[in-house]
């Protein structure tokens, strides 16, 4: 049975600590709960004395959660152009609520009448076909849990100095286009035309009434408001796969057609924007994902990468889906640098930022998947740092 001794420096504890109760639970209880006198009654709060509000057709979050919103990053005078980013530091689990799912648009969100919308498949096929939403909906449906990540995510981490940003602001800043070449093998393998997201019709900002879903591929290829698929002999070299979404390397050449997102992870709790409420027991938690399959391991460091502790992975671990990881942490109150490092089923290990830049240079812009570092100060502030 695991005890409460650190398994890596700076207070990282055994990931199995709480599975069997006993020592770990007692540790936690002594650390962070408050005693009550036996038989003490709870205060009767005002909301217990009055009838509450009636039912509504479509529910909303509590008004006390009004800060849990996407943050938009727009160029000046272009209200519909830019990105709106998910507040990952305030979410948990592995499902992203539809209202908070990141979005990236360059001409705002169209107000599409689904009955008027048409979807065309043409090009090198026997017979071009036009679908309405109704005819398309009669095809066999498949549902899956998959991540979608902007290829431009975290591009600020290629910069020389650590930007004073949180996990939300570092989450999305691509330069998406509307026309991309997709390998036929991918289209025949696991591509989907997504009509629903988290059970309900996909929302306007994410492609209503239909978008392409290419599990594991960079976000901009998963075309929203999908109108047509043209089968061609080879890539069509659109602006969005030549001048954009190519990675400029050290030798002046560019990497083109890098579709899957490489294994990556980020700690969401604690992270900038959240505050540590004094020394004691915490859970370090975050998400990991890979466009090449399943996450097989996540390690966490509290000393800037010198020592590592294995994190527990939330089951079920699914291929090309967000995987939640967790590790208990006894924070002494001293300074700490928190990092996470993911490994996927191909054996690929998430590189440090220095390794990534040594390999690729700092002008690649896209596909940043280096280790991210959060510095914790003695007063419990959490800041983005390079380490």
Q: Contact between 110 and a second copy (CB under 8 A)? A: yes
Distance CA 173, CA 103 (A): 10
Which secondary structure element, helix H or strand E, spans residue 32, and what is its range? helix 23-32
Closest CA to 305 of 337, 329, 332: 337
x/- mask, a second copy, residues 348-387, rule CB under 8 A, reads ----------------------------------------
Q: What is the DSSP letter of 262?
A: P
Residues 237 to 266: which contact a second copy by CB under 8 A?
Answer: none
Span 204-223, contacts to a second copy by CB under 8 A: 204-206, 208-209
The least distance separating a second copy from the CB of residue 82, rounded to whole angstroms, comes to 7
Which tokens is 381 given?
């502030």
What is the smallest separation between the CB atom of 361 and a second copy, expressed in angstroms?
32
Residue 259 to residue 384: CA distance in whole angstroms: 28
From residue 82 to residue 101, what is the string marking binding to a second copy with x (rule CB under 8 A)?
xxx-----xxxxxxxxxxxx
Confirm if 106 and 77 have CB atoms less than 8 A apart.
no
- Which of 1, 118, 164, 232 lies at the binding interface for a second copy (CB under 8 A)? 118
233 lines the binding site for a second copy (CB under 8 A):
no
Binder of a second copy out of 1, 3, 74, 232 (CB under 8 A): 74
Cβ at position 288, least distance to a second copy in Å: 14
Q: What is the DSSP string of 234-251?
A: S----GGGTTSS-EE-TT
Question: Least distance in Å: CB of 228 to a second copy?
Answer: 7
With CB under 8 A as the contact rule, the residue among 9, 23, 109, 182 that binds a second copy is 109
* Residue 123 φ/ψ, nearest 5 degrees: 95, -140
Distance CA 340, CA 264 (A): 9
* Residue of 75, 76, 199, 252 that binds a second copy (CB under 8 A): 199
218 Cβ contact partners less than 8 Å away, ≥ 6 residues apart: 149, 150, 151, 174, 245, 258, 259, 260, 261, 291, 366, 367
What x/- string results for residues 119 through 158 when contact with a second copy is judged by CB under 8 A? -x-x----xxxxxx-xx--xxxxxx---------------
Residue 1 in the binding site for a second copy (CB under 8 A): no
Q: What is the SS3 assignment for 335?
A: coil
| Residue 345 Cβ vs a second copy, minimum distance, rounded to whole Å | 16
Q: Which of residues 22-61 bind a second copy (CB under 8 A)?
A: 28-29, 31-40, 42-43, 45, 47-48, 51-61
Of 139, 178, 173, nearest to 157 (Cα)?
173
Query: Does residue 198 belong to the site contacting a second copy (CB under 8 A)?
Result: yes
Instruction: In whole angstroms, give the CA distance from residue 188 to residue 229.
Output: 13
Q: Nearest approach, Cβ of 151 to a second copy (angstroms)?
A: 19
Closest alpha carbon to 327 in 348, 353, 301: 301
Half-sphere exposure for 309 (CA within 13 Å, toward CB)? 28
Kindly state whether residue 70 participates in binding a second copy, applying the rule CB under 8 A.
Answer: yes
Q: Does 62 bind a second copy (CB under 8 A)?
A: yes
Reduce the DSSP state of residue 304 to 3 states and report it: coil
Closer residue to a second copy in complex, CB, 286/375 = 286
- Write out the binding residues for a second copy, residues 286-325 only, by CB under 8 A: 314, 316, 318, 324
CB closer to a second copy, 113 vs 161: 113
CB of 91 to a second copy, least distance (A): 5
């Amino acid at each position: 049975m695991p005890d409460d001794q650190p398994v890596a420096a700076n207070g990282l504890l055994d990931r199995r600590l709480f599975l069997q109760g006993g020592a770990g639970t007692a540790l936690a209880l002594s650390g962070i709960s408050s005693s009550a006198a036996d038989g003490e009654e709870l205060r009767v709060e005002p909301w217990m004395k009055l009838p509450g509000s009636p039912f509504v057709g479509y529910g909303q979050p509590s008004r006390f959660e009004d800060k849990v919103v996407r943050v938009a990053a727009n160029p000046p005078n272009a209200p519909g152009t830019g990105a709106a980013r998910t507040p990952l530091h305030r979410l948990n689990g592995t499902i992203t609520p539809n209202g908070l799912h990141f979005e990236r648009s360059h001409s705002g969100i169209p107000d599409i009448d689904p009955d008027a919308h048409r979807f065309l498949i043409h090009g090198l096929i026997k017979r071009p076909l036009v679908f309405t939403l109704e005819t398309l909906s009669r095809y066999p449906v498949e549902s899956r849990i998959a991540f979608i990540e902007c290829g431009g995510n975290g591009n600020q981490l290629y910069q020389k100095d650590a930007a004073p940003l949180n996990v939300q602001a570092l989450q999305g800043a691509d330069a998406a286009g509307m026309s991309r070449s997709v390998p036929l093998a991918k289209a025949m393998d696991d591509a989907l035309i997504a009509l629903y997201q988290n059970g309900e019709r996909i929302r306007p900002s994410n492609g209503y009434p239909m978008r392409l879903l290419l599990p594991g591929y960079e976000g901009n290829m998963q075309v929203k408001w999908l109108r047509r698929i043209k089968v061609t002999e080879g890539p069509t070299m659109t602006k969005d796969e030549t001048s954009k979404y190519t990675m400029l390397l050290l030798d002046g050449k560019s990497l083109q057609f890098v579709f899957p997102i490489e294994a990556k992870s980020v700690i969401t709790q604690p992270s900038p924007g959240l505050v540590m409420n004094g020394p004691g027991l915490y859970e370090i938690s975050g998400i990991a994902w890979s466009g090449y399959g399943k996450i097989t391991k996540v390690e966490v460091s509290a000393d800037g990468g010198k020592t590592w502790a294995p994190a527990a992975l939330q089951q079920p671990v699914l291929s090309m889906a967000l995987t939640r990881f967790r590790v208990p942490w006894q924070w002494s109150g001293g300074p700490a640098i928190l990092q996470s490092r993911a490994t996927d089923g191909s054996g690929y290990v998430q590189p440090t930022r220095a390794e990534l830049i040594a390999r690729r240079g700092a002008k690649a812009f896209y596909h940043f998947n280096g280790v991210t570092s959060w510095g914790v100060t003695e007063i419990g502030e959490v800041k983005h740092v390079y380490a």
